Structure 1
Amino acid sequence: MTTMKQDTDARQALQGLEDSRSSVRLRAALAVGTTPDPRCVDKLIERCAIEPEFFVRDTLTWALTRQAVSMTLPALVRELRSERAQARSQALHTLSKIGDRQAWPAITRELLADADDEVARSAWRAAVVLVPDGEEPALAAVLAGQLGRGERQTQLSLSRALVALGEVIVPALRAATTAPDPRVSAHALATQRLLRDPDAGFEFAIEEAKRAVALGRSGQEGQ
């Protein structure tokens, strides 16, 4: 009898994930997470790729973290090869929440430099969580290659990811401060400031860094 009820509950939850009302989809995701069922893993991941509502996506991720890692990890890694940007981004986000370092080999340079800013940001966050001991300097060098990219929010995400790696980022940042592109050098200087003072606001740090770069270039031109 219990098995029949579980089957019925699972079917209802899966149907709820398809409902046009976000409140129903949210309740369905909560139900699946409250009573984990391996039969729901594929549907949860499939829904992550297309779910338009942030709070529902976040609950879908939570529901996936409640499932057996042996079921979720292979499916999420496969999703990283999806052509849909949201599918890649949400899979990366979920892997970072699960935190199992078996997923590390799937965090490729291509994902860390993904053309979609949201995917790249998710990849940076996941990489910092999943990087094995001893691999941090190599990761720092790869992430530093993205300095100067995107708008302010993307730059802040990258700076936070780099700062989370700690002092190993110092050589990569030092090299980037001399980059010919002023966006790269300013971003590197701002990240250095955040490393020294995590409480410093990024807006202040980046504007200060821009002034420093501009003054430095003016001084060079005047020589």
Structure 2
Amino acid sequence: MLIGEVARRSGVSSRMLRHYDSLGLVRPTGRTVGGYREYSDEDIRRIFHVESLRSLGLSLRQIGRALADPAFTPSELVGDLIQRTQERLDREQELLDRLRAVDASAPSGWEGVLRIVELLHGLNSPHAARRQQAVLAPAEDVPVPAELLAGAVLAEADPNVAGALRWALARAGGDGLAILASGVRSEDVDVRRRAVLAIAELPGDEATAALAEALGDPDPAVRGRAALALGSRGRIAAAPTLVRMVAEGTTDVEAAEVLGTLARDAGCADRIMSELIDELAEPTADPATRIRLTQALAEMPPALAQGVLQKLAEDDDRAVALLASALAVPDRSTGTAITPR
């Protein structure tokens, strides 16, 4: 088969076939009387082998080596190609993210584009101080995309920089919440913790819904932060987690204060008191746990806590009884006990 026909059937140009010939990669086994290249069926099969290997990213030199050595093992070469391809994809993804960030900011001029690029460089700095400076030094009239800030929040390990990012995100508005909500479902517990911290500072029903989802998280830090934020928003669903936090001594003072705020709502008060009383009556509760729960009663509305504290003043555990007696101070004018506020 002559070169023109081979080119037509294989899709490899005549010029490239001549180049293969000059490299010794695919040499036609015959020549016509007129000196034209004539390819055999085996030559054509070799052309397809070359093209197949080229599609994997091998250079012509690598292909020649692979086809010339019957003992050649491809694993090392393929592994190297995978690594190089992944690095190229990472660079392309970084470029795509950068372009999307610029597009999301809707810059009115090149100054806006340069500001976003500068911010991206700053956020990618290995130095925490540089990242924090990039967040806290915004240019005027150049909005920072909330999506960019949200992604940076989920990736930031330094607490100071993370705080600056959350502050900037709360001011930016936009649709950063969607990215943070995806962080709540991350397999990485650190990402989930960062996501909940940031969502807790955002207003709105969608943020509340994302926090409610985090109540079921297996990590106590994620659950606890979500419960504190939800309780502060008046959501009774947080009450069981908050009571457990008091019992376990996990941010128990803050949890008790949020429970007290929730209990001011008559619709929540009875459930919270029931949860506290059940924990106090738990047979496995140790003295330290019961003391924390008794202290939490001081945050409850006096009308609700008074009777429980009077009963606890006669508790078999002397430490609990003494604490309950101190919290249920007698009102000298009536002779009854009241809970100090």
TM-score after normalising by structure 2 = 0.49
Larger Rg: 2
Aligned partner of 2:134 in structure 1 is 28
Q: Does 1:92 align with 2:92?
A: no
Query: Deviations 1:176-214 (Å, cap 9, x if unpaired)?
Result: 2212212543332121124469xxxxxxxxxxx9xx673
How far is 1:6 from its partner? 0.6
The answer to whether the 8 A contact 2:200-2:211 is kept is: no
- Code of the residue aligned with 2:130 in structure 1: it is V
Contiguous gaps of at least 5 residues in structure 2: 1-106, 303-311, 322-341
Aligned partner of 2:76 in structure 1 is none
- Code of the residue aligned with 2:120 in structure 1: it is L
Distance 1:98 1:217, change over 3 A: closer
- Code of the residue aligned with 2:256 in structure 1: it is S
Q: How does 1:171-190 map to 2 (within 5 A)?
A: 171-180=274-283, 181-182=285-286, 183-190=288-295
SS state at 2:201 partner: helix
Aligned partner of 1:205 in structure 2 is none
Aligned partner of 2:185 in structure 1 is 81
Aligned partner of 1:63 in structure 2 is 168
Aligned positions, number: 195
Q: Does 1:166 align with 2:263?
A: yes
Distance in 2 (CA, whole Å) between partners of 1:215 and 1:105 is 43
Query: Deviations 1:105-162 (Å, cap 9, x if unpaired)?
Result: 22346x335443432332122212444xxx42x432343244422xx45323432332
- Code of the residue aligned with 1:162 in structure 2: it is L
TM-score after normalising by structure 1 = 0.72
Distance 1:87 1:46, change over 3 A: same
Aligned partner of 1:140 in structure 2 is 239
- Code of the residue aligned with 1:165 in structure 2: it is L
What RMSD, in angstroms, separates the aligned Cα atoms of the two structures?
Answer: 3.1
Equivalent of 2:153 in 48, 54, 58: 48
Equivalent of 2:144 in 37, 41, 44: 37
* Aligned-pair identity (%): 21
Aligned partner of 2:317 in structure 1 is 214
Q: Does 1:13 align with 2:119?
A: yes
- Code of the residue aligned with 2:239 in structure 1: it is A
Aligned partner of 1:193 in structure 2 is 298
More displaced stretch, 8-17 vs 170-179? 170-179
Distance in 2 (CA, whole Å) between partners of 1:73 and 1:24 is 25
The answer to whether the 8 A contact 1:77-1:106 is kept is: yes
More displaced stretch, 19-28 vs 180-189? 180-189
Distance in 2 (CA, whole Å) between partners of 1:139 and 1:54 is 26
SS state at 1:5 partner: helix
Contiguous gaps of at least 5 residues in structure 1: 198-208, 219-223
Equivalent of 2:225 in 109, 122, 126: 122
Distance 1:74 1:213, change over 3 A: farther
Distance 1:155 1:189, change over 3 A: same
Distance 1:216 1:52, change over 3 A: closer
Distance in 1 (CA, whole Å) between partners of 2:276 and 2:194 is 29
How far is 1:13 from its partner? 0.6
Higher helix proportion, which one?
1
Distance 1:46 1:112, change over 3 A: same
Aligned partner of 2:211 in structure 1 is 107
- Code of the residue aligned with 1:120 in structure 2: it is R
SS state at 2:177 partner: helix
- Code of the residue aligned with 1:83 in structure 2: it is E
Distance in 2 (CA, whole Å) between partners of 1:214 and 1:42 is 54
Aligned partner of 1:202 in structure 2 is none
How far is 1:57 from its partner? 0.7
